């Protein structure tokens, strides 16, 4: 119960900081839109083709937008030694990780709504046909992505060139998640029955669970001085 | 001094073993009926791949060991394995296409094992790059241990995902490799060659660890000298 309250407090702190500046959310939404827009320009897809490209485009947009958010999330903590303050608090470091994860999950989810909306508009496509499954895949895909992203952002915050370091750490590790998410999204958009992509959804769930637990346990060492 | 002697002996052993392996690869083992002499690159390629995997496992092991016991040796081991493993993994990625071009007719295909090797290579690169970029070197060991552990856990998941992914698609080329039933002389050559690679790997890792120790010793001596002379560094 106490843990939940701590997570809640830390989560609300991140939301309050974001609400006062509104920098992160605005930048990741705009960046996500730009990625979709550029892809539309680069490939100029039409009809069948757009159905083939769309899953890849939206997941790449999610990935780029996410990276931007994770970097911001820890860059802000470095100013005025906020991270030291958090470290000194008498709480389990794993809880700080979970709170950071929730906040980043929320920000990325908002950006994803914007991205999906723009993509369906520009590619003339409706995601509503199998929305429950689409939602499920995006939910677990994002969860796994944020789970890895937050701990790597905390590591990268300790390096020179941290904005560059984060994607170099992050992208090789999330490849299985990416394969699963894109394959499942493709199946869903094609209107295939759930049995076709059930194993991918299971992979996304397993990936999320494994990396949330692992990062929860390891975060202590990331914060250690 | 004793340590130096043991390292020299290890070096000589490596050299002899490599010569034996080369003899077996180029003279002892018969030429493959289907592939001709090109197939001999397998005796470099496959042991490199296995050694690279051992190296990545050592990054993981060193990381866990460091977090648990805070032993400097564990961190040195992980770092050295990363550096040497990266070389072996690069060797896999270079020798693979050299073999694939005459046999498959193409340099590269996104077959599960190729994809996985490339991901492993990226993980090595990320790990090594990270190690050079820390602002505060005293935190390097702990943070790279965390990254090494996460990367290692990721590899089997990668393997599963890529296999499911590719088995759902038709293979772009027919695999003609020596998949099953390796002749005894070929198996023997492969194992001897792997032994030589492991011996070389261990030798290089020991050299790197010794270098890291010397470096620490030098900086320690410099600090002592500076305090004696009252100089600032």
Least Cα distance to A113 among A65, A166, A155, A161 occurs for A65
Label residue A1 by pLDDT band (50, 70, 90): confident
Least Cα distance to B153 among A222, A217, A59, A100 occurs for A217
pLDDT at B178 over 60: no
User: What residue has token string 């992505």?
Assistant: A145
- For residue range A82-125, what is the model confidence (pLDDT) as tens digits? 888 888 888 899 999 999 999 999 999 999 999 999 988 888 88
Q: What is the pLDDT of residue B2?
A: 67
Window 158-197 of B: residues touching A by CB (8 A cutoff) are: 158, 160-162, 164-165, 168
- For residue range B74-92, what is the model confidence (pLDDT) as tens digits? 999 999 999 999 999 999 9
Least Cα distance to B67 among B144, B157, B178, B165 occurs for B144
- Residues in chain A with CB shorter than 8 Å from the CB of B125 are 168
Q: How many pairs of residues across A and B have Cβ atoms under 8 Å apart?
A: 88
pLDDT at B169 over 70: no
pLDDT at B141 over 50: yes
pLDDT at B116 over 70: yes
**Predicted model pTM:** 0.89
A19-23, B55-59, B171-175, B194-198: segment of lowest average pLDDT: B171-175
Inter-chain touch B134–A159, beta carbons under 8 Å: yes
pLDDT at B196 over 50: yes
Apex B143 CA angle, B137 and B149, nearest 5: 145
Q: What is the pLDDT of residue B168?
A: 55
Inter-chain touch B125–A148, beta carbons under 8 Å: no
Answer yes or no: is the ipTM higher than 0.95: no
Q: What is the pLDDT of residue A41?
A: 86
Q: Which residues neighbour B85 within 8 Å (Cβ) at sequence distance 6 or greater?
A: B51, B52, B54, B55, B56, B58, B59, B124, B201
A152-156, B35-39, B62-66, B117-121: segment of lowest average pLDDT: B35-39
- For residue range B11-59, what is the model confidence (pLDDT) as tens digits? 999 999 999 999 999 988 888 877 888 888 889 999 999 999 999 999 9
Question: Min CA distance, B129 vs chain A (Å)?
Answer: 8
Q: What is the pLDDT of residue B4?
A: 82
Nearest CB partner across the interface for A221, out of B119, B146, B157:
B146
Q: Which residues neighbour B199 within 8 Å (Cβ) at sequence distance 6 or greater?
A: B10, B13, B14, B17, B18
Tell me the average pLDDT of chain B: 87
């Amino acid at each position: 119960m106490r843990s939940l309250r701590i997570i809640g407090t830390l989560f609300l702190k991140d939301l309050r900081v974001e609400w006062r500046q509104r920098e992160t959310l605005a930048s990741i939404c705009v960046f996500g839109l730009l990625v979709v827009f550029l892809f539309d320009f680069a490939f100029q897809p039409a009809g069948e083709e757009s159905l083939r490209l769309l899953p890849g485009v939206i997941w790449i947009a999610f990935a780029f937008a996410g990276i931007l958010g994770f970097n911001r999330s820890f860059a802000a903590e470095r100013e005025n030694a906020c991270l030291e303050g958090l470290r000194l608090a008498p709480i389990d470091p794993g809880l700080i990780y979970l709170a950071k994860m929730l906040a980043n999950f929320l920000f990325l989810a908002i950006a994803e709504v914007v991205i999906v909306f723009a993509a369906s508009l520009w590619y003339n496509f409706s995601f509503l046909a199998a929305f429950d499954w689409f939602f499920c895949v995006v939910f677990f895909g994002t969860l796994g992505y944020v789970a890895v992203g937050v701990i790597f952002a905390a590591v990268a915050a300790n390096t020179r060139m941290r904005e560059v370091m984060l994607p170099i750490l992050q992208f090789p590790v999330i490849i299985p998640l990416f394969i699963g998410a894109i394959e499942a999204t493709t199946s869903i958009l094609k209107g295939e029955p759930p049995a076709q992509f059930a194993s991918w959804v299971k992979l996304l769930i397993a990936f999320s669970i494994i990396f949330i637990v692992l990062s929860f346990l390891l975060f202590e060492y990331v914060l250690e001085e | 001094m004793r340590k130096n002697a043991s390292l020299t002996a290890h070096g000589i052993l490596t050299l002899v073993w490599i010569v034996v392996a080369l003899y077996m690869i180029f003279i002892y083992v018969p030429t493959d009926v289907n592939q001709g002499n090109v197939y001999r690159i397998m005796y470099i390629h496959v042991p490199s791949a296995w050694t690279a995997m051992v190296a990545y496992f050592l990054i993981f092991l060193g990381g866990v060991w460091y977090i648990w016991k805070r032993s400097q040796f564990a961190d040195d081991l992980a770092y050295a394995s990363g550096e040497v493993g990266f070389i072996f993994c690069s060797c896999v990625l270079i020798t693979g296409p050299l073999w694939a071009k005459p046999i498959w007719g193409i340099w590269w295909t996104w077959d599960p094992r190729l994809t996985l090797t490339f991901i492993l290579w990226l993980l090595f690169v990320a790990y090594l790059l990270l190690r050079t970029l820390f602002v505060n070197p005293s935190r390097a060991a702990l943070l790279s241990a965390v990254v090494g552990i996460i990367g290692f856990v990721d590899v089997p998941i990668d393997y599963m995902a890529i296999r499911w992914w590719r088995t759902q698609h038709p293979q772009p080329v027919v695999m003609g490799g020596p998949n099953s039933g390796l002749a005894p002389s070929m198996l023997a050559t492969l194992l001897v060659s792997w032994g030589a690679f492991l011996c070389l790997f261990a030798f290089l890792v020991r050299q790197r660890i010794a270098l890291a120790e010397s470096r620490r010793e030098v900086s320690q001596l410099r600090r002592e000298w500076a305090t004696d002379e009252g100089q600032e560094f």
